[in-house]
Amino acid sequence: MGALGELERAVMDAVWDAGAAITAYDVQASLEQAQQRTWAVTTVLTVLGRLEKKGLVSSDRSARPHHYRAVASRADHVAELMHEALGETTDRSGVFSRFVGGISAEDADMLRSLLREG
Amino acid sequence: MTSVDLASAAAVPLLVPHATIVAVALLLAVVTIALAGPVPVALARASWPSRSPVLALLLWQAIGLAGGLSMIGALALGGYSLVPSWLALLPAAGLAVYLLTHLAITVVQVTRQRRRHLVLLDLLAAPHPTETATRVLDDAAPVAYCLPRGVGSVTVLSRGLLDTLDADALRAITAHERAHVEQRHDLLLLAFRAWRSALPWFPVAAYAEAEVAALIEMLADDVARRDVQDCDLARAILAVGAGRVSGAEPAEPSTRESDRFRRLAA
């Protein structure tokens, strides 16, 4: 992952950790604390804009400075990823290759007996 | 001018005897019917593909490709033998365009789904400390999958999986996923998925896809088995799969998925 990817992740972490709507200045402060490094507010705003375009962050532009909040929690997104990769509902063939889907009880027993012998 | 005049005006002199065109068209029609029914059914029922997945995969590709081409050819020649005009080729051209359009749509769909998934992975899954192109998803369920897309392929392992499995079993999983990535199995699946989406009313297309998917897993297992013991692979499969109920695959597949596990015991 490139430097921009790292920064996006750090900004997203700041938004998630905040739990409520925060401003770019709050994100900047949180980054500074986490990374011991100061990012320009314009950079933070650019990243927030990218995250918004990706549908991960929503903004309230009526407030000054603008407020940003996470569209969904970290756990929700992890659940979404797991569901996408493993769920039977979405058409995932060719998109993902999972190591193994579910296995039947008989197949599981057969593999267990193989392991006992080995 | 009547329509008959129009047809004769557009007529092209035949380079081969009419009877030959009819014969070839009929032959192609027979090939199409064979490749649409009895041949894939027999292949899906046979037991040897589990022993030689490579050969079986080649056959499935040949069946898919030849089936499509013979269908187009039969339509083109059949039409031409009835009306010797380029207008008679339109149905065949339409079919070709229809099939290619479905392939294009499938590519776009798959690419979009992958991109969206990768965006989230970038933000949520930390890079694995030692394995390259591998990410760790913070979830307790034991899960392993990969997003195969050539150079940018990513293997995803869950924290639950890393906590449960020993190094050898994990190595079996990464070797298996690496095989998918290196052999570009995603492209093969993509082609069969496009085939199914173009012919949704055609059950053979659905179970061809299921067969190909199962054979690909065997192939990746075989690559992994060069590096790891069968029992390591079996342990990994049990850890990931035992907690989940099987089934609900597209179409009702053969027992090919079980065959994958039976081969380890053989």
Q: How far is CA A56 from the centre of its chain?
A: 8
Of A92-101, B4-13, B151-160, which range is least confident?
Answer: B4-13
Per-residue pLDDT of A43-73, as tens digits, reads 999 999 999 998 899 988 887 888 999 999 8
Question: How close B148 comes to chain A (CA, Å)?
Answer: 7
Residues B201, B247: contact at Cβ < 8 Å? no
For B251-255, which contacts have Cβ atoms below 8 Å and span 24 or more sequence positions?
A: B251/B203, B251/B206, B251/B207, B251/B209, B251/B210, B252/B207, B253/B207, B253/B210, B253/B211, B253/B214, B254/B44, B254/B45, B254/B207, B254/B210, B254/B211
Q: Which residue of B has its CA nearest to A72?
A: B120
pLDDT at B14: 62
For residue B263, pLDDT over 80 is answered with yes
Residues B209, B195: contact at Cβ < 8 Å? yes
CA-nearest of B61, B60, B80 to B72 is: B80
Strands (E), B151-264: 154-158
| pLDDT grade for B252, boundaries at 50, 70 and 90 | very low
Q: Residues 175..204 of B with a Cβ closer than 8 Å to A: which?
A: 176-177, 180, 185-186, 189-190, 192-193
| B contacts of A90 (beta carbons < 8 Å) | 113
What is the β-pairing status of strands B134-137 and B154-158?
Answer: parallel
- Domain range for B238 is 3-265
Compare A34 and B74 and report the one with higher pLDDT: B74
pLDDT at B66: 94
For residue B250, pLDDT over 50 is answered with no
Report, as an integer, the average pLDDT of B183-200: 90
pLDDT at B151: 80
Report, as an integer, the average pLDDT of B242-246: 63
Mean pLDDT, rounded, of chain B: 85
For residue B87, pLDDT over 90 is answered with no
- Could you report the predicted ipTM of this complex, rounded to two decimals? 0.80
For residue A17, pLDDT over 60 is answered with yes
Whether chain A has a CB inside 8 Å of the CB on B121: the answer is yes
Task: Sketch out chain A's domains with CATH numbers.
Answer: 3-70 (1.10.10.10), 74-117 (no CATH)
pLDDT at B1: 43
pLDDT at A34: 85
Question: How close A76 comes to chain B (CA, Å)?
Answer: 11
Give CA–CA dist B90/B83, Å, rounded.
11
Report, as an integer, the average pLDDT of A14-38: 88
pLDDT at B119: 87
Of the residues B112, B145, B168, the best mutation for testing chain A's interface (the one with the most A CB atoms within 10 Å of its CB) is B145
Cβ burial B1-22 (10 Å sphere, 16+ → b, else e): eeeeeeeeeeeeeeeeeeeebe
| pLDDT grade for B251, boundaries at 50, 70 and 90 | very low
Per the structure, the count of domains in chain B is 1
pLDDT at A46: 92
Report, as an integer, the average pLDDT of B194-208: 87
pLDDT at B9: 47
pLDDT at B176: 94
| pLDDT grade for B57, boundaries at 50, 70 and 90 | very high
